[in-house]
Amino acid sequence: MRTEPTLRIPLGILALLAALAAYTLVIARYAPDLIGDWPTLAQALVYLVLGIVWLLPLRRFILWMETGRWG
């Protein structure tokens, strides 16, 4: 357990928010053009997958925020 505060957590939260905003903008900008003509269920599946994909690197990122190590 750490005894002194670090800047990793506030900076990590800001970086996470910035990355999530950028990811959201990219998806919102380009996904409708690519899948707009698809059936509704297929579109829903794509958006569901894209909504879950950003969670994959989150565990390692939170681990870095807490410990300073990536693994």
Question: Any idea where the domains of the chain sit in the sequence?
Answer: 38-71
Reported as a pLDDT band with limits 50, 70 and 90, residue 39 is: very high
Q: What is the pLDDT of residues 56-71, one digit of tens each?
A: 889 899 898 888 887 7
What is the structure's pLDDT at 5?
79
Question: Read out DSSP for the chain?
Answer: --SS--SHHHHHHHHHHHHHHHHHHHHHHHHHHHHTTS-HHHHHHHHHHHHHHTTTTHHHHHHHHHHS---
pLDDT of residue 10: 93
- Give this prediction's pTM: 0.77
Render pLDDT for 8-34 as a digit per residue (tens, 0 to 9). 999 999 999 999 999 999 999 999 999
